[in-house]
Structure 1
Amino acid sequence: MTRGVPAARLASVGQGLPLMPMTKALIESVADGSGAGASGFWRLPGGFEKTLADWSLCGPVAYVEAEYFGGVGEQRAAVWEGGTIVLGPLHLEEGRPFPPAGSPISQALRRLGVVAGPGEDEFSAVGLVRHRHGEAWLA
């Protein structure tokens, strides 16, 4: 999954799903100089969408962002499969309730095959609640 990107490091989350935190080194190694913010994301490095699309030729790949402080925040998510975006980009603005389909991140995880149990969403089912910051997954 990380072919062509030596700075990429994977962590394992629940249900056998790999997580690639967007570290500073990774962002610097994949950015093409066109700036962040592609497809309405805050931190998606310019040019990284092409890499995600390429990786998705081997199976679905999601890119997700969450920005929360004190329980208030926003989420964004997209899923690539077969070289193209098949979900999103989804955006949940601050102060908005989750839609019936679930949060953007839970919808993306569901598209990757994550199954939530009774009383939980996909975000909780894979244990993403364990760390607030991506780099903490690599510690």
Structure 2
Amino acid sequence: MQLNDDVQMIPLGSTAREQYAIPFLPLTDDGDVEFPPSIQELCRQLSAGGDLAYIEAEMFGGAGVQASVLVEAGGKIGSAIVAHDAINVALRSLGIRSGFGGDAFTSLALGRYRETDAWVDSGQE
């Protein structure tokens, strides 16, 4: 899926989570800091094309938490970061900068949809 600034995203909606046995929001919902093996394997496969970040966010009533894990090209997996700005930390590490007074999350319009399945259903490619 194409985001702003030629950034690509692969949303892991319900179907992908079921197919790859990926737990729902394991870092933000369950509070784990251990990156699930099923997501590690998928990220290793995808990192053949270059560095990437696994990100997740859980928001409720304006407050929330974010998580990110950086994966280097070739599959070296970093530590999970769970914090209010974890996604922006990951995006900056990938060289994605904020634009015009916002942050990278906003610049990429990552808040466009509230649910991951809405990204999948939007059909944007």
Deviation, structure 1 residue 57: 2.8
Structure 1 counterpart of 2:6: 16
Q: Would the aligned equivalents of 1:123 and 1:129 in 2 still touch at CA under 8 Å?
A: yes
Secondary structure of the 2:97 match is coil
In the superposition, the TM-score normalised over structure 1's length comes to: 0.71
RMSD: 2.5
Aligned partners of 1:29, 1:78: CA distance in 2, in Å? 21
Deviation, structure 1 residue 38: 9.5
Structure 1: which 5+ residue stretches go unaligned? 1-10, 93-97
Structure 2: which 5+ residue stretches go unaligned? none
Q: Would the aligned equivalents of 1:27 and 1:45 in 2 still touch at CA under 8 Å?
A: no
Secondary structure of the 2:11 match is coil
Equivalence map 1:58-69=2 (5 Å): 58-69=49-60
Q: Would the aligned equivalents of 1:30 and 1:47 in 2 still touch at CA under 8 Å?
A: yes
The percentage of aligned residue pairs carrying the same residue is: 29
Deviation, structure 1 residue 67: 0.6
Q: Which has the higher contact order (CA 8 A, sep 6+)?
A: 2
The size of the alignment, in residue pairs, is 116
Runs of 4+ in structure 1 displaced over 2 angstroms?
35-46
Structure 1 counterpart of 2:42: 51
Structure 1 counterpart of 2:77: 85
Secondary structure of the 1:12 match is coil
Deviations along 1:23-81, one digit per CA (max 9) or x if unpaired, are: 111011112xxx73798454876422112023213201111111111111111111101
Secondary structure of the 1:26 match is helix
Deviation, structure 1 residue 125: 0.9
Structure 1 counterpart of 2:19: 29
In the superposition, the TM-score normalised over structure 2's length comes to: 0.78
Deviations along 1:113-133, one digit per CA (max 9) or x if unpaired, are: 212123111100111121111
Structure 2 counterpart of 1:72: 63
Deviations along 1:59-107, one digit per CA (max 9) or x if unpaired, are: 0111111111111111111110131124x31001xxxxx5xxxx10011
**Residues 1:134 and 2:123 aligned together:** no
